[in-house]
Amino acid sequence: MAEHLADLSVRGLDLVDPSALSQDAKALMTEECEKIAPFDEKKLEEILDLYIRTGIPVHSPGYMGRQFSGVVPLGGVVEFVSSVLNQPSSFYEAGQLPNVAERLMADELNRFIGWEPGRFAMVTTSGGSLANLTAMLAARNQKFPRFWPDGAAGLEGGARPAIAVSDDVHYSVSRAAGVMGIGEAQIVRLPLNGRRQISIEGARAALAAAERANLRVFCLVASAGTTSVGAFDPIGALADLARERDIWLHVDGAHGASLLVSDRFRHKLRGIEKADSLTWDAHKMTFVPAPCTLLFYRDREASGGAFRQRASYVFDEKPDIYTELDSGDRNFECTKRPMIMSLWVLWAMYGRALFAEKVEYLCALTQQAYHLLHAEPDFETVHRPEANILCFRYRPHGVAEEDVHALQVAIRNRVKLRGRFFISKVNVDGVAALRVVMMNHEITVDHFRMLLEEIRGVGRTLHGTHWNPRRNGGCS
């Protein structure tokens, strides 16, 4: 592992044919026998080596493709301890320190959110998708108290429950609408402005139209860092709009809430103190092993509404000083990994500065990359980056409008297969763009320059005589 972490070579993905990998993995498995096989250190080494070699290299400067973090290694040590101790954290008595650490960490981070200290609440949960669903359930159950017992079928007559989301919202939010019985057709899409944020005027009009269509929008989901381009919706103005209409404002800050710890970037979430709830993935820009998601509520009372039931084998008859810290009735999981521990230990050991410095470095690096791109005539930027996500296109002279999409897809795939850099792609206004996400402080602007050269090289080949997007669909 030490060797792996010390290897700072520029590597992308070494994509192996699954059936070949499957053969290799199978060869490492003990033949079934009636007895427990003796411990074979060499086999373990081979397994771990295969594991390290075949994954995305999140610690290499060649990895710029996803929001998976290059974690602080000490976090891994804490996870080792957590895994062996195996103290679940939904109940104080099972994991005392994790429950206390959740409270301490909540207080630390709430200093940057700004909610009333005795009144706000935080629970940890297994990933941003689950946090978004949980918050949306709390909203649904608050605005429609009969939804939990009766189901949506109990709401006969009256307006249909609906959810308003940004056109660029993460798929987990529309998925949640399908899961929780709202229905995907009851999603009101709010238009974006030129910076790919929710447009306030557009939102106002869309909400009015929804009302005329007999929809009762009870929850509005804003993004603090959209997944596609990292845009920050105008939280303060949306909160005002939501309050006017008795709408719960949930902020999906899975990616971008971590900017709150930085004095320089906190302003991106201006107005967050007026929101009702906030999802914060510490496994993204707070650099701890995944998943470690924090779900904050402005009002502790409201956090109790997401789930409702009793079970005599876990919930005690009368609350006491111990059970008062239990979160089992407020998070989805029964057995919950004590995910807070790696975050809290890193915070306790190094302080806020560790996270603030890393966030600031990565956002500044992304700005530099943007300016670099701007000076290159054969590249096109599609937005001005607000955090550490940057989307752009390779678009040299002579590429027809209708070929731009397929060219980006082909470049992305070819770059991936070459294995030096790992980048992703995203559709922006229906046309593919190349996407880099800076999640690792070992990346410098020189690495980004190398990436542009790689793209240019690949792009030139593809754009040459050998490539016809309409023949092979751009997936060569």
> Among residue numbers 202 through 241, which ones bind a second copy (CB under 8 A)?
227-228
| Residue 364 found at the interface with a second copy (CB under 8 A) | no
Taking CB under 8 A as the rule, which mask of x and - marks residues 411-430 in contact with a second copy? -----x-------xxxx---
Among 114, 143, 167, 175, binds a second copy (CB under 8 A): 175
Find where tokens 């790919």 sit: 196
Among 60, 142, 186, 277, binds a second copy (CB under 8 A): 186
Question: Which of 188, 302, 304, 195 lies closest to 245 in space, CA to CA?
Answer: 188
Q: How many residues touch a second copy (CB under 8 A)?
A: 153
> Among residue numbers 49 through 78, which ones bind a second copy (CB under 8 A)?
50-52, 54-56, 58, 66-71, 73-78
Q: Which is nearer to a second copy, 234 or 305 (CB)?
A: 305
Taking CB under 8 A as the rule, which mask of x and - marks residues 87-116 in contact with a second copy? xx---xxxxxx-xxx-xx------------
**Taking the complex as a whole, how short is the minimal distance between the CB of residue 155 and a second copy, in angstroms?**
6
**Cβ partners under 8 Å of residue 174, min gap 6:** 165, 184, 187
Q: Classify 188 in phi/psi space as left (phi over 0), alpha (psi -120 to 50) or beta.
A: beta
Among 3, 6, 9, 34, binds a second copy (CB under 8 A): 34
**Taking the complex as a whole, how short is the minimal distance between the CB of residue 12 and a second copy, in angstroms?**
10
Distances (CA, A) of 330 to 17, 108, 143, 304: 42, 20, 17, 6
CA atoms within 13 A on the CB side of 236: 6
Among 148, 240, 266, 380, binds a second copy (CB under 8 A): 148
Among 113, 278, 285, 325, binds a second copy (CB under 8 A): 325
Q: What element of type H or E holds 268?
A: none
Is omega for the bond preceding 73 within 30 degrees of 0, making it cis?
Answer: no
Among 3, 201, 317, 401, binds a second copy (CB under 8 A): 317
Question: Which of 303, 307, 297, 258 lies closest to 277 in space, CA to CA?
Answer: 297
Q: Classify 473 in phi/psi space as left (phi over 0), alpha (psi -120 to 50) or beta.
A: left
DSSP-based three-state secondary structure for 44: helix
CA triple 250-108-327, angle to 5 deg: 60
Q: Which is nearer to a second copy, 133 or 217 (CB)?
A: 133
**Distance from C-alpha of 175 to C-alpha of 167, rounded to nearest angstrom:** 14
Distances (CA, A) of 299 to 30, 132, 248: 53, 16, 12
Residue 431 CB neighbour total at 10 angstroms: 15
| Residue 345 found at the interface with a second copy (CB under 8 A) | yes
**Taking the complex as a whole, how short is the minimal distance between the CB of residue 467 and a second copy, in angstroms?**
17
**Distance from C-alpha of 361 to C-alpha of 341, rounded to nearest angstrom:** 25
Q: Which tokens sit at 36? A: 């427990």
| Residue 255 found at the interface with a second copy (CB under 8 A) | no
Distance between start and end Cα atoms, the chain: 35
Stretch that binds a second copy, among 39-47, 115-123, 203-211, 294-302 (CB under 8 A): 39-47
Q: Which is nearer to a second copy, 70 or 271 (CB)?
A: 70
**Distance from C-alpha of 385 to C-alpha of 370, rounded to nearest angstrom:** 7
**Taking the complex as a whole, how short is the minimal distance between the CB of residue 389 and a second copy, in angstroms?**
10
**Distance from C-alpha of 33 to C-alpha of 426, rounded to nearest angstrom:** 49
Among 7, 43, 205, 270, binds a second copy (CB under 8 A): 43
| Residue 8 found at the interface with a second copy (CB under 8 A) | no
Q: Which is nearer to a second copy, 174 or 368 (CB)?
A: 174
Taking CB under 8 A as the rule, which mask of x and - marks residues 387-406 in contact with a second copy? --------------------
Question: Which of 428, 434, 442, 395 lies closest to 414 in space, CA to CA?
Answer: 434
Q: Which is nearer to a second copy, 298 or 416 (CB)?
A: 416
**Taking the complex as a whole, how short is the minimal distance between the CB of residue 223 and a second copy, in angstroms?**
13
| Residue 16 found at the interface with a second copy (CB under 8 A) | yes
DSSP-based three-state secondary structure for 215: strand
**Taking the complex as a whole, how short is the minimal distance between the CB of residue 24 and a second copy, in angstroms?**
9
